[in-house]
Structure 1
């Protein structure tokens, strides 16, 4: 069973300062800690501080989507609907 990490007031204040810098929070420590969501984030940050010298992790982005391109040369020479219906050209 894992032991709970005791967070000190200074650990919470340091975590709050890091989060305020990262997310541009203008509120003071007491106001942030009265906010249910932000205080939870600060407590998590205090228990799991980032490794020194390492930037916070970011989600990896996939390759950008290719924009749809119109077929070159105007209309398609092949009629897909007609081919699917079984119609044939008997020229």
Structure 2
């Protein structure tokens, strides 16, 4: 399960470390989620060889706008994950 490690509720820029995800909830509220403990990140990819090369070839073909579109996450999806990941209603 991801950990909520910090909350920023002012105009100051949040300090983001490696493998942390900033979640902008409101204009002046940002939560920092730490993904280290979720087991989602592997320094050594499980997919190697031909499959990896094929993925990278297709990835490099995408334009910047296509990448932004493909990697965009809606706020409703983030709130759904927060509801499942953070048990304290006040912390959400």
Fold similarity call, TM over 0.5:
no
Greater strand share, structure number: 2
Larger radius of gyration: 1
Report the TM range for the smaller structure's normalisation. Answer: under 0.3
